[in-house]
Structure 1
């Protein structure tokens, strides 16, 4: 069975005005969809056909198949991204996640400052992640399609896409404004907290081929 483009977990206009429906038309409907199509084309008739998405990503990485890695990892990254946004996002985390943020960064405000610094300083195209590693939280930048899925010991809790196609229609070149909107209006703390108790195989973004 081929991979499919997952539906957004909200209406296309639900994140407006922070992220417009036009941006999601392009970002989800064209960019994400293209990664799905290219991955399906690349695995058709190969040993990868029928494997889970995570299995394809890891096999492509270990086998040095950069094209397949780029496209399959971007399926996973984008599916995870849609859940990192929420129309009811922002606010404050609670419970264990709030305590871990305080332990790792000092306070929620300090976390936001450090996350923005990392995200705006992530050169060119890439992703900024909140990850759990060894029971501690850390902010991790990855380049291009790179993903925590192929970095042992790092489990993604949240992500922000800092490729320009994620924000250019709405914010032009002001990545900082996009990061601010994410942290103040869109960040899905409930999703992040739920990921603390999940295995990597159960995180959003995993699909069977």
Structure 2
């Protein structure tokens, strides 16, 4: 997974989940950190080599897109003050503490199971900040009533049988997530995660809507070619003040009264656009490869000349 590369200057950045969804195959794009950088386009690319300049950027706590009391009575102001004001704030503060003096390599992790412990800690806090921004933006006051857009609903019917089938699967996944974690509604592209390979031909059936569970801070972005559309936080601190240990009630109220389908529809539209852009790029590469093969292919008689003609 490629994480956004902070600037080597001393700017301040706000982690906006909407900014990370598009413009990158894994749903991430480079952070548009304030403060003009003099790096070239080539130098701005994600850097994988260790031993580079140390990071001095910081991240800010981004407020929810509504007042802290706007989700009442479903989600109380007390919950928002505790969840966003304490837990989310702590993730941001710990992220800033962890990245001081670290190198860019910590932000270009490909396989979390193979990285050093300091980089793994940074990844945990970075994902938790991203997850919470995404979670707050997934809700709105008086949400949940409307249904998805026509295009999204069509795929929901295809992949879950019906909208009600999707809701039931999402609720079941959230109820059965063991311990702390997240449940995601995502658009999954069917691709080979191989940089130098032309992707095989695909059909619309290959692009699926899925419901997936993730433990702790994990989100589908690190699995490659998952585009999150909606998430629910099932860490206990997300619902205990309002629902105590009644997680199923919290989940039902979230789906029925809080989900912003307007935001989900927008994320789905962006995800489809990214996938279609990559498909066009795949097709362009395929045609270039065919042209190169045709150009490089020597005529048969140039390699094995006709013996009679050669004898003359």
The alignment status of 1:42 with 2:98, answered yes or no, reads yes
For residue 59 of structure 1, report the CA deviation from its aligned partner. Answer: 6.3
The answer on 1:145 being equivalent to 2:217 is yes
Contact 1:84 1:191 in 2 (8 A): yes
Aligned partner (choices 42, 51, 56) of residue 107 of structure 2: 56
Give the secondary structure class of the aligned counterpart of 2:72. Answer: coil
How many positions carry a matched residue from both structures?
196
Partners of 1:188 and 1:199 in 2: how far apart? 17
Aligned to 2:124, the other structure's residue is in SS state helix
Secondary structure at the counterpart of residue 87 of structure 1:
coil
Q: How does 1:105-120 map to 2 (within 5 A)?
A: 105-120=160-175
Structure 2: gaps of 5 or more residues = 1-10, 12-57, 190-206, 275-312
Pair 1:75 & 2:118 matched: no
Return the offset for 1:129.
0.2
Q: State the 1:88 CA deviation.
A: 3.1
Structure 1 residues 171 and 60 mapped into 2: Cα distance closer, same or farther (>3 Å)? same
Corresponding position: 1:194 with 2:297 = no
Runs of 4+ in 1 over 2 A off after TM superposition: 55-66, 197-200
Alignment of 1:163 with 2:235, yes or no, is: yes
- SS of the aligned residue for 1:137 comes to strand
TM-score by length of 2: 0.60
Which string of whole-angstrom CA distances, capped at 9 and with x for unpartnered residues, describes residues 22-75 of structure 1? 000011111011110111111112224xx9xxx837468362432212111100
Maintained 8 Å contact 2:187/2:271: no
* Partner residue in 2 for 1:206: none
Contact 1:80 1:159 in 2 (8 A): yes
Query: Which of 243, 247, 253 in structure 2 is aligned with 1:175?
Result: 247
Asked if residue 31 in structure 1 is aligned to residue 82 in structure 2, the reply is no
How far apart, CA to CA, are the structure 1 residues paired with 2:67 and 2:88?
16
2:54 corresponds in structure 1 to: none
- 1:119-130 pair list within 5 angstroms: 119-130=174-185
Cα pair 1:58 1:149 within 8 Å, conserved:
no
Work out whether residues 5 and 36 of structure 1, in 8 Å CA contact, stay in contact via their aligned partners in 2: yes
Of the two structures, which has the highest relative contact order with CA contacts closer than 8 Å and spacing of 6 or more?
Answer: 1
Secondary structure in 1 aligned to 2:228? Answer: strand
Structure 1: stretches of 5+ with no match in the other structure: 203-209
How big is each residue's C-alpha offset from its partner over 1:144-197, in whole Å with a ceiling of 9 and x where there is no partner?
000112110111000000000000000000000000001100111111111123
8 A Cα contact 2:229 2:267, kept in partner? yes
